[in-house]
Amino acid sequence: MFRKIIIMLVAMLLVVSNVGFAQENISKEYYMPFTLEQYKRNSNIPICLKIDKHYILYTKPYGPYIDTKGNMIISAQMVKHLLGGSYSYDQKSKKASIELYGTKIDFTIDSNKVLVDGKQKEMKVPARAYEDGVLIPLRVILDNTDIKHVYVESRKQLHITDERVTIKDFFRNTEAESYAAQSKDNNAITLVSYTPIGGGKTKFTGINESGETIAKGASEIRYQGIFLNKDGSDLGFFESDNYSRGSLESLPQVEVAGTISRTMNYGKYSIDTTYVTAIGRLMPGFSN
């Protein structure tokens, strides 16, 4: 634990700077539903993917999003670290490959044709190279593996519920995981969006879906990130919460299906980040 790099004064501005809002390198059908100009106007950024208890905000080199054609696009690298599979990419040959739960899928950059266990199939959109990574439609994984998931149409949000995912192991040293057993409900608050508002501040918005009124000080919104070396080894992590900062008040009482928001201010950081996630849960006994 002590060998980890824990950065507590950190801004969600890192997500925005790394996610790549200047999208000139991606074709129009891959444009996110918000632009750099919208970000500057403090627009809500929708959260479209959840794995286990973690809402996925950023996965290097590009955060998950729903394109203008309704396809959820993810970084292929997350298959290795967050889902428990393998990933490889050869930039020279423009070939990428993932293997997950006994299924191997081979991609060719800028092609919508894939090989699934050696059999050719087509995707609705092609695989794309972005910076040093690969972006793929999540649908190709859902359609060709037995990964367990639930899609909430009203929120345009997909929740991967499969017990084989490795995200909990990947974030094992963070309090997001170490406090999981103490939580009354790790999925009580559905996080629907976050809003970078400048000056190192980020506003998270969630909905109480616990089925009961949440008392003041009994819920937590937290985010955390992981830094990796180029060889994939763990360099360190940062995290934040509502209760370790004396300047933050307890989250207020929120009724069933009510909306709850938290704005956090943590300054800036300069280390390249690989993953950023957030959680919303009940933590009995937390109060200020």
Summarised one tens digit per residue, pLDDT across range 199-212 is 667 788 999 999 99
Q: What is the 8-class DSSP label of residue 162?
A: -
Structure confidence at residue 33 (pLDDT): 34
Question: Does 198 score more than 70 pLDDT?
Answer: no
Comparison of pLDDT for 155 and 259, the residue scoring more: 259
Distance CA 164, CA 144 (A): 16
- Bridge partners for 65 per DSSP: 73
Question: Does 242 score more than 70 pLDDT?
Answer: no
Contact 189, 221 (CB under 8 A): yes
Tens of pLDDT, residues 48-91: 999 999 999 888 888 888 888 889 999 999 999 999 999 999 99
Contact 127, 141 (CB under 8 A): no
Comparison of pLDDT for 186 and 231, the residue scoring more: 186
What is the average pLDDT across 174-197? Answer: 81
Question: Does 245 score more than 60 pLDDT?
Answer: no
Structure confidence at residue 15 (pLDDT): 37
Contact 81, 125 (CB under 8 A): no
Which sign does the torsion angle of CA 230, 236, 240, 241 carry? positive
Tens of pLDDT, residues 86-126: 999 999 999 999 999 999 999 999 999 999 999 999 999 99
pLDDT band of residue 37 (cuts 50, 70, 90) is very low
Distance CA 148, CA 156 (A): 17
pLDDT band of residue 284 (cuts 50, 70, 90) is low
Closest CA to 133 of 176, 57, 74: 74
Contact 170, 226 (CB under 8 A): yes
Comparison of pLDDT for 21 and 115, the residue scoring more: 115
Comparison of pLDDT for 136 and 278, the residue scoring more: 136
* Cα–Cα distance list, 138 to 56, 78, 83, 149 (Å): 13, 11, 12, 12
Question: Does 252 score more than 70 pLDDT?
Answer: yes
**What is the phi/psi pair of residue 175, to 5°?**
-70, -20
pLDDT band of residue 241 (cuts 50, 70, 90) is low
- Which stretch of DSSP H or E encloses residue 236? strand 234-240
Cβ neighbors of 141 (< 8 A, separation 6 or more) are 79, 98, 100, 105, 147
Question: Does 267 score more than 80 pLDDT?
Answer: no
Closest CA to 82 of 48, 115, 53: 53
Structure confidence at residue 12 (pLDDT): 36
> Other CB atoms closer than 10 Å to residue 256's CB: what's the count?
12
- The Cβ-side half-sphere exposure at 37, using a 13 Å CA radius, reads 0
Distance CA 43, CA 64 (A): 17
